[in-house]
Structure 1
């Protein structure tokens, strides 16, 4: 099911009750898998389509697999995150989410405030977890494989490009493709405020519009966390805007900080996270030296059963529902260029 079909369903069924964050996380992971993995026969898919606004940047861009290799080992130089070579500021150790946001803002202030031309492209290279036991939203086994994808998005929002079977494919984007929720097309991202409070107010407005009114505080906070992560996932963002996103995250109730973490490629980082519904840990991983976004992960911290009319969804403690990382992001002059 595409992001637009979900939106259509939501608009036609405003009385439908939103599903819990675990169901949203499963559907988001399924959408990522269906957008990135090689075509496969679908088993009995238990889709919880009454969730609102689960479109990902991956779906909007039409990401296609460029390689599928065994998971494990240290990344090569090509897997260095964008901005890794920048000289970081010598700041005191980060102790919490607010410190991280402040440090990122200080770092951003040292960088040139340049904006890309409309005819330039945002390039992103990402990796997503897969399992040798299969996947379909949540992984059916350990995340022992990875899928690497590359995409380009024209800064004016008119075109996107992917590598498909070794060939570059460029296509025009329709208004419908850019109209999912949350929006993540590049013109929209560049229009976002770079003040943390103003940005969070904007995100909360998006959440309220998705729900046709203000949801309860917990659901509102959880969805705002999801939306900001989607903003960062597949684009080369201006440093000040990225810092504002960390500042907005720090203001969301329930957001916590962990100083030691590793992303999908084993790169060391720090984590901003929330616990949803008491069992699901939603994580955003950040490079502690450059403050670049590194990736996301959804992992169950306890057993849980999500009950629905289409059957129960069982989640076991330690089960990873979705996992991905941003390997490189840059502004380039043409599709196919990798910075």
Structure 2
């Protein structure tokens, strides 16, 4: 199990803040902050390696060295919950949990996920994921949505630190997924590299799992901790996952305050389903998960604005995805034989 990152001292954060210009007022979701921080840190990686284009990593960074943090703080500041903050969050969570419609739906989704079979995954293999994605580019100051893209990823299942985490391919262009910046010996399995074995090590009791997630999920300053944990669960969903872990994640999500159900929703390619959603009311961003109405498989997710911001009006789409295929292969870059089948290896 991955251990919690040590929170930086208040003095360290103040010192870094003094070195940086005052940040502009923005209303980005945690997902968008992490996306732009990834772009910045990937550019640092590429400058060091002499590469000509950035690597499209899509995994949140959970440990950032001080030199990189000083550069990345202009975009996002990652911290973890202290003991008192965890107690406050737990008290709020326990006082608001009830069998509301969202909780009842997540109970059904959890039961279905717990019954699914998954392939055997060896440590020397790669978990394959294929999606369709759309993402908003915010560099111009206005959200400009990309066309629908084909996205594939091969994630190494090696438990120990690895320098090459796998491969990612976007619209036919392939790039290596290198170790996290600052991981000189490579990146171990954990929340930023969730291997099948690591997922199997997570608590399957929903309360214990949620406590672990609140303790280990990084926060974007002034964003809601509940939303950060909800988005972390969304990041872990889909793909090849131990059934018990998938079931526990959904039951844990049901205990997060503010989670609601959405009777009718679509994924990035227009497949209709039912949804689970949560809005960060401080900054007006809504994250939604889409599930098949019949068998409750995870179809995809989306993020939209719910308030007027410099980037767009309420309803502006920031990102959208559709899960297409999953599997296990012996070599990065190779697809499973049935990866293109409509019902092949659907997500948990």
Classify 1:324/1:140 alpha carbon distance in 2 versus 1 (closer, same or farther; 3 Å). Answer: same
TM-score (norm 2): 0.63
CA distance in 2, matches of 1:199, 1:26: 25
Which one of 253, 264, 270 corresponds to residue 268 of structure 2? Answer: 264
Q: State the shift of 1:329 in Å.
A: 1.9
Any conservation in 1 of the 2:304–2:317 contact (CA below 8 Å)? yes
Aligned to 1:30: 36
Aligned to 2:147: 145
Q: How has the CA–CA distance of structure 1 residues 119 and 314 changed in structure 2, closer, same or farther, with 3 Å as cutoff?
A: closer
1:125, distance to aligned residue in structure 2 (A) = 0.9
Change (3 A) 1:172 1:261: closer
2:211 to 197, 201, 219: 201
What TM-score, normalized by structure 1, do the two folds share? 0.64
Contact 1:29 1:322 in 2 (8 A): no
More strand by share: 1
User: CA deviation digits over 1:150-187, x for unaligned, max 9?
Assistant: 11112224441234785866677468263799533314
C-alpha distance in structure 2 between counterparts of 1:221 and 1:167, whole Å: 36
Moved more, 186-195 or 121-130: 186-195
Per-residue CA deviation, residues 285-332 of structure 1 (Å, 9 max, x unaligned), is 22333333222211112314xxxxxxxx44421212222232222223
| 2:62 corresponding residue in structure 1 | none
Pairs within 5 Å for 1:89-168: 96-112=101-117, 115-130=120-135, 135-136=138-139, 140-141=143-144, 143=145, 145-157=147-159, 158=162, 159-163=165-169
Asked if the contact 2:209–2:252 (Cα under 8 Å) also holds between the matched residues in 1, the reply is yes
Match of 1:222 in 2: 227
Cα deviation digits, residues 51-94 of structure 1 (max 9, x gap):
3279xxxxxxxxxxxxxxxxxxxxxxxxxxxxxxxxxxxxxxx9
> What is the aligned-residue RMSD (CA, Å)?
4.3
Q: Could you say if the C-alpha distance between residues 181 and 26 of structure 1 is closer, same or farther in structure 2, counting changes exceeding 3 Å?
A: farther
Q: Distance in 2 between matches of 1:137 and 1:190?
A: 42
The residue that corresponds to 1:286 in the other structure is 291
Instruction: Work out the CA distance in 1 between the residues paired with 2:170 and 2:147.
Output: 19
Q: Does 2:235 match 1:236? A: no
C-alpha deviation, 1:230, in angstroms = 1.4
Cα 1:99–1:137 change in 2 (3 A) is farther
What runs of 5+ residues in structure 1 fail to find an aligned partner? 1-6, 41-45, 55-93, 305-312
Shift in alpha-carbon separation, 1:179–1:322, aligned structure 2, 3 A = farther
Within-5 A mapping of 1:271-310: 271-277=275-281, 279-304=284-309
Contact 2:278 2:286 in 1 (8 A): yes
1:10-49 map, 5 Å: 13-15=12-14, 22-30=28-36, 39=53, 48-49=74-75
Return the offset for 1:33: 7.2
TM-superposed CA distance for 1:200, in Å, is 0.8
Give the number of equivalent residue pairs: 272
Alpha-carbon separation, structure 1, partners of 2:28 and 2:174: 36
Aligned 8 A contact 2:30 2:228 in 1? no
5+ unaligned residues in a row in structure 2: which ranges? 18-22, 43-51, 55-71, 81-98, 337-348
CA shift at 1:338, angstroms? 2.3
**Runs of at least 4 residues off by over 6 Å:** 7-12, 16-21, 32-35, 167-172
The question of 1:333 aligning with 2:333 is answered: no
